[in-house]
Structure 1
Amino acid sequence: MRRISDFRLLVSGLTLSWVGNGFQTVALAVAVVKAGGGPGDLGLVMAASIVARLACTLFGGVWADRLQPQRVMVVSDLIRMLAAAGMAVMFFSGGYHLALLCALAAISTGAASFFDPAFGALRPLLVPVEKRQSANATISMLQTGSQVAGPALGGVTVAAFGASAGFTVNALSFLASMIAALLLRVRAERGPRASMLSELGDGWREIRKRDWLMFGLFGATVYHIANGIILVLVQIVAIERLGGPSAAGFIAAAEGLGGLIGAAIALRFKPRRLLRAGWLTLLLMPLWALAYVWPAELIAVIAGAIVGYAGLIFFDVAWETAIQDQVPQRMLGRVSSWDYLTSFIAMPIGNVLAGPLSAKYGTSPVLTACAAVLFLSAAAQFLVPGTRRLTRPQVSPTPATRSPELAEATGS
């Protein structure tokens, strides 16, 4: 009962912060443009965020395993709240300083790099083993819904009250998340500390022990490079060939709907070989990319987005659940940080390659090749013995875990 109460409390605070991030996404672009900055300024702010993420993620994993993870989350939320408040004050006062904005963005993203591994380390403590998949699906559903609702609400708010209002809402959302983390009662067991480098190495050695995890991370790196290229090119295709900004909006909505469907399926469909099922559903994502090439019609792209993103989110739930099942809790922060790092390294590489590759070979051939890479990087995982054989642990629920309150909390 106590763990389920903590789960509800945490996801309530997190949902508010995820929605608040959507406000800041809109506010940042509007604020920079209205202050006289252009794509170059916005690109520098984004680059500062990426550099901070790359520099801090692995260290965030170490501290998540050294301390109680909720303590790391509280400090992270406090820093992010102050950074968002600083942006609100800067733009409200009319003083636009690019260097300060880059610094605040880097500080905020650096703090998030500590928050994410801590959240990864905390998640399996909040629900019993047999409810992890349902809990992960619930979190994915709320996060996906927030990524749709946040920018939509943020756009309305920024249009009505200005960019500073968007930053202010985001700061308040971090306050809500911080309060939720402060109220958590669950505790993780922590052992003696070693040097930072030694603990970083321990995280990687934990990954190497599991072939499904190590090759999964390599496959995900290749996947994210290709997907980084795709995400740039499909925006251009949507605007130039499929109907302009309105088409891009419809496609984004379809992606969100697909994600919600994938999470809803993960709530109910619980195979013993969950990881294998997850890699199978990830094979649907190339359909989304290929729809931009053929038939290259808006309705086909929307359908591909729904199907592809449903598969992607189901895979995310399966992957997170497998890590929580198989990796000792005391190592989860470091393993999660290596997982996050592969994505954050690979995606910007793909973004940078999109322009030169499309200029040399054409948009459609590059999209086709990248769709093939998506398919092969997922299909290759079935050559890994651990991926084929990994099963979820069988745990007989205790009477307490069969309670209606638990079923309601995790949607099962």
Structure 2
Amino acid sequence: MIRGLAAMQDRNFRWFFLARAITMITGSMSSIALAFAVLEIDNDARSLSIVLAAFTVSNIVFVLFGGVIADRLPRALIIQSCYVVDILSIGAMAALLFTGTATVPLLAILSVVNGASTAFVLPAMQGIIPQLTTPEHLQQANAMLSFVRSAVTIGGPVIAGVVVAAAGPAWAMVVQAAGWLVAIPVLALVKLPPPAAEGGTTMFHDLRIGWHEFWSRSWLWTIVLAFMIMNAIHVGAWGVVGPYIAKNDDRLGITGWGWVLSAEGVGVLLMTLLLMWVPLRRPLRYGMIGIAAFAIPLTVLGVHPGVVLLAMAAFLAGAGAEVFATGWNLAMMENVPGEKLSRVASYDMLGSFVVMPIGTLVYGWLITQADPATVLIASGAVYGAIALATLAVPSVWRMGRPAAAVAPARAEVADS
């Protein structure tokens, strides 16, 4: 089989990939559908922020417990069960919109349910992938999933915009729920051994074990601590200041900002294709160098936000971000015991995400107090410095790959 698609040799991965692709494609319109649903009810940004914050806070609150459950129970079953919850919550949103009875508080409550469900799905997703394929196919498996994710990131908002504009946000939610409904029986075809039982331990005991596994790896907590700040900068500088610059600077404009975001997505997409074939032998070293490239578009946005130059910088940043994403997944999946992986992943998610809402609020305040260009240039410098500083940690710089993960690549080169 073509090396880039080698993970498709594994039956369980094929079915999981199909189910995941269905949910990523149909779910790619969810954020836009929800945003316009809220704004149809109350055309106020504060109402939208309440609904979005409800999802985020719920996700943060439940993610550690999601990690424990994903290490205790069959992960495919957890994902299926959460999809049922998602169908009910998303279906309830659609029903409220169809009947004209939707309110912002009701949508916020349903977003809490959806956020809690996602908190159980994400650690299970992280833990299940190494179970689906062999070590030598793990990089290709992650790259293939990233390829679909990046493709729908580019095309999903366009499709969502068309559906929402033509039929309304409720129908976009119906499409999403239908995707989840199809994915459930597909996931049932994934056959995995039951998880290793740990013998009557409490949930808090399991959390302590997960914390020990997390804190005992210097590369892991170092990078998570770095991303606490980096993610806050990303969502604030890129997600808040970026659109503000686009709206108020004719050199960029709203249309130009769309091209810049698309260029970033294309960078991700092309890098996923490359990583299907090229082994990533130093996953964290190259990953942190790659993610540091995001400092470039932040700086360009502050210095000279012209569409062409900024799009080129965003393309590089997107490619670098994918190197990190694949490298990070490989580092986690190859160096954390599988029976504890979901718990460790939940600590990663908590640390990486918990400051993001604060970053959004802080940057919203900063651009009213200081020159946006100064804020962006300083943010780019801090972001790049933090990312590259992690390379001073020996375990980040030196981490390699198991021999089984890279040996097939050498064999194929030798055969050719």
TM-score (norm 2): 0.92
Aligned residue number for residue 236 of structure 1: 244
- Looking at structure 1, the residues matched to 194 and 296 of structure 2 have their Cα atoms a distance apart, in angstroms, of 42
Please give the per-residue CA displacement for 1:180-231, whole angstroms capped at 9, x wherever unaligned. 2222112253222411111111111101221111111111112112212212
Return 5+ residue gaps in structure 2 as ranges. Answer: 1-6
Aligned residue number for residue 298 of structure 1: 307
Report 1:176-187 matches (<5 A).
176-187=182-193
Output the amino acid matched with 2:395.
Answer: G
Deviates more, 1:193-202 or 1:332-341: 193-202
Output the amino acid matched with 1:59.
Answer: F
User: Cα offset for 1:397?
Assistant: 9.1
Tell me, what secondary structure is at the counterpart of 2:314?
helix
Alignment CA distance shift 1:328-1:188 (3 Å): farther
User: Cα offset for 1:244?
Assistant: 2.9
**Contact conserved, 2:210 with 2:344, CA < 8 A, in 1?**
yes
Output the amino acid matched with 1:233.
Answer: V
Aligned residue number for residue 391 of structure 2: 382
Equivalent residue pairs, number? 401
Q: 1:65 aligns with which of 61, 71, 85?
A: 71
Please give the per-residue CA displacement for 1:281-312, whole angstroms capped at 9, x wherever unaligned. 12211111111122321111110110001101
Report 1:24-173 matches (<5 A).
24-173=30-179
User: Cα offset for 1:398?
Assistant: 11
Please give the per-residue CA displacement for 1:208-266, whole angstroms capped at 9, x wherever unaligned. 22111111111111211221221211111122213432122112211111111221222
User: Cα offset for 1:116?
Assistant: 0.5
Q: 1:289 aligns with which of 276, 284, 298?
A: 298
1:310 aligned onto 2:319: yes
Deviates more, 1:101-110 or 1:274-283: 274-283
**Contact conserved, 1:60 with 1:114, CA < 8 A, in 2?**
yes
Q: 2:289 aligns with which of 280, 289, 298?
A: 280
Tell me, what secondary structure is at the counterpart of 1:395?
helix
1:208 aligned onto 2:210: no
- Looking at structure 2, the residues matched to 42 and 362 of structure 1 have their Cα atoms a distance apart, in angstroms, of 27
- Looking at structure 1, the residues matched to 227 and 38 of structure 2 have their Cα atoms a distance apart, in angstroms, of 33
1:175 aligned onto 2:181: yes
- Looking at structure 1, the residues matched to 64 and 268 of structure 2 have their Cα atoms a distance apart, in angstroms, of 28
- Looking at structure 2, the residues matched to 92 and 150 of structure 1 have their Cα atoms a distance apart, in angstroms, of 23
- Looking at structure 2, the residues matched to 131 and 196 of structure 1 have their Cα atoms a distance apart, in angstroms, of 33
Tell me, what secondary structure is at the counterpart of 1:9?
helix
Identity %: 27
**Contact conserved, 1:3 with 1:125, CA < 8 A, in 2?**
no
Deviation >4 Å, runs of 4+: 396-399
Output the amino acid matched with 2:85.
Answer: I
Aligned residue number for residue 226 of structure 1: 233
Output the amino acid matched with 1:334.
Answer: R
- Looking at structure 2, the residues matched to 52 and 87 of structure 1 have their Cα atoms a distance apart, in angstroms, of 17
Return 5+ residue gaps in structure 1 as ranges. Answer: 404-412
**Contact conserved, 1:265 with 1:314, CA < 8 A, in 2?**
no
**Contact conserved, 1:53 with 1:113, CA < 8 A, in 2?**
yes
- Looking at structure 2, the residues matched to 324 and 171 of structure 1 have their Cα atoms a distance apart, in angstroms, of 30
- Looking at structure 2, the residues matched to 140 and 57 of structure 1 have their Cα atoms a distance apart, in angstroms, of 22
Deviates more, 1:145-154 or 1:113-122: 145-154
- Looking at structure 1, the residues matched to 262 and 374 of structure 2 have their Cα atoms a distance apart, in angstroms, of 26
Please give the per-residue CA displacement for 1:340-392, whole angstroms capped at 9, x wherever unaligned. 11222121111110022222222111111111121111111111111122110
Alignment CA distance shift 1:380-1:188 (3 Å): farther
- Looking at structure 1, the residues matched to 102 and 405 of structure 2 have their Cα atoms a distance apart, in angstroms, of 59
